Amino acid sequence: MQKGSLYAHIAGKQELLYETMLVGARAFHAALDELPERAPATERIRLALRAHLRLVADQLDVATVFVREWRSLDAERRDEILAERRRYEERIRALFREGREGSELRTDLDENAAALLFLSAANWAYTWLHPGEDTDAVADAFFGLLVDGMRGYDTPV
């Protein structure tokens, strides 16, 4: 398809970028929606990380745009997309908060730092994941490091 033919389907470049990012935002939220509500918080964290990495690997191009190009949106649309992103981050933060409040995680856990570390691993993945790669094992490895750390073998309750 030639570049001019695009304009039979979209209103313009901005519109195309915005639609693409909406698809991305909705996909990430949908992944969180499908977490089992009754599972322990740590298990939901593990599954959330799996879902996030799977989404990035399955739709690497959308994920890359979603992470890198939100600056190019005009002010109004950028605010909307950023709000969706902040809402996603808050949902992740809530998982860690629940884990702490339910005593699955240490009571002095800094949920902001924890969520930021989770999101760093999740969002950086677009730079090294290959399209379509199976990511569950990687997600579980990350989860293990995050939750149990790198020292010793124990998993104290």
Partner DNA sequence: CCTCCTACCGAACGATCGTTAGGCTGTTCA
Partner DNA sequence: TGAACAGCCTAACGATCGTTCGGTAGGAGG
Q: Which residues bind DNA (CB under 7 A)?
A: 1-9, 12-14
Helices (H), the chain: 13-33, 41-58, 60-68, 75-101, 111-124, 136-148
State in angstroms the smallest separation of the CB of 87 from a copy of itself: 16
What span, in angstroms and rounded, lies between the C-alpha atoms of 60 and 80?
Answer: 22
Q: Does 86 bind a copy of itself (CB under 8 A)?
A: no
- For 132, the token pair is 């379509």
Enter the DSSP assignment of 64.
H
Mark the segment that binds a copy of itself (CB under 8 A) among 16-24, 25-33, 48-56, 145-153.
145-153
| Among positions 90, 106, 131, 134, the unique one binding a copy of itself when judged by CB under 8 A | 106
State in angstroms the smallest separation of the CB of 14 from a copy of itself: 20
Mark the segment that binds a copy of itself (CB under 8 A) among 7-15, 24-32, 55-63, 110-118.
110-118
Q: Which is nearer to a copy of itself, 6 or 141 (CB)?
A: 141
What span, in angstroms and rounded, lies between the C-alpha atoms of 106 and 79?
Answer: 35
Compute and round to an integer the Cα radius of gyration of the chain: 18
Q: Does 11 bind a copy of itself (CB under 8 A)?
A: no
Contact 52, 135 (CB under 8 A): no
Q: Which is nearer to DNA, 9 or 71 (CB)?
A: 9
Q: Which is nearer to DNA, 69 or 110 (CB)?
A: 69
Q: Vertex 146, ends 145 and 148: CA angle to 5°?
A: 65
State in angstroms the smallest separation of the CB of 16 from a copy of itself: 20
